[in-house]
Amino acid sequence: MNYWVNRISHEFPLSGVLFRYGYLTVGWSDAAVELLEAADSSQKLFKEQFYEIFHDLSNGDSLWRFLKEYEVGDIVVVPLPDKHNNKVSIVRIKSDVKMSDVADLADIGFVREIEHLKNNIPRTILKEIANCNLFACSKTTYSVNDYGDAIQSLIEPGSL
């Protein structure tokens, strides 16, 4: 099992609604078919295709993680986009990646089904338990395996 951070601010509020109903989302709907086919072949082909389409690789790693590194059962910390409430949710991945059914409404190319484990956790509590700011990185998706014990302690019954 791996631990991740996944931001859902892209195409918010639709990504927020989908999150509440059990879906974790990411963009790139304008090239979803091509990118998924390339990802199914190899990471090298995926990066080549990503660069060919977007002429930039800066966000390709985040999409690769969402498509190929997330696994069913992984735990994901999701910072909620409302900066005023400073809350996070912790969810478990329930499905493999799927192409989005709402790409015609918004730039949401891919989804994964999730199970909500704990919601509305103050970021300050997570920062205290992990003894660091897990959200200092600005990427969309990234691994936080080094803080798995701290994250797991928040999921335990009676932890908050």
Dump the DSSP string for 16-75: HHHHHTTEEEE--GGGHHHHHHHHHH-HHHHHHHHHHHHS--TTHHHHHIIIII--TT-E
Q: How many domains does the chain have?
A: 1
Model's pTM, two decimal places?
0.91
Cα gap 25→45, rounded to integer Å? 23
Give a yes or no: residue 43 inside a domain: yes
Query: What local confidence, expressed as pLDDT, does residue 83 receive?
Result: 65
Give a yes or no: residue 41 inside a domain: yes
Beta bridge partners, 4, equal 76, 143
Q: Are 118 and 90 in contact (CB under 8 A)?
A: yes
CATH number at residue 90: 3.10.590
Give a yes or no: residue 160 inside a domain: no
Query: What local confidence, expressed as pLDDT, does residue 160 receive?
Result: 62
Give a yes or no: residue 67 inside a domain: yes
Query: What local confidence, expressed as pLDDT, does residue 130 receive?
Result: 83
Per-residue pLDDT 10s for the chain (160 aa) are 999 999 988 888 899 999 999 999 999 888 989 999 999 999 999 999 999 998 888 889 999 999 999 999 999 999 988 765 789 999 999 999 999 999 888 999 999 999 999 999 998 888 888 888 888 888 889 999 999 999 999 998 776 6
If DSSP codes are grouped into helix, strand and coil, which group holds residue 151? helix
Residue 126, H or E segment: helix 123-130
Query: What local confidence, expressed as pLDDT, does residue 156 receive?
Result: 83
Q: Which domain holds residue 123?
A: 3-155
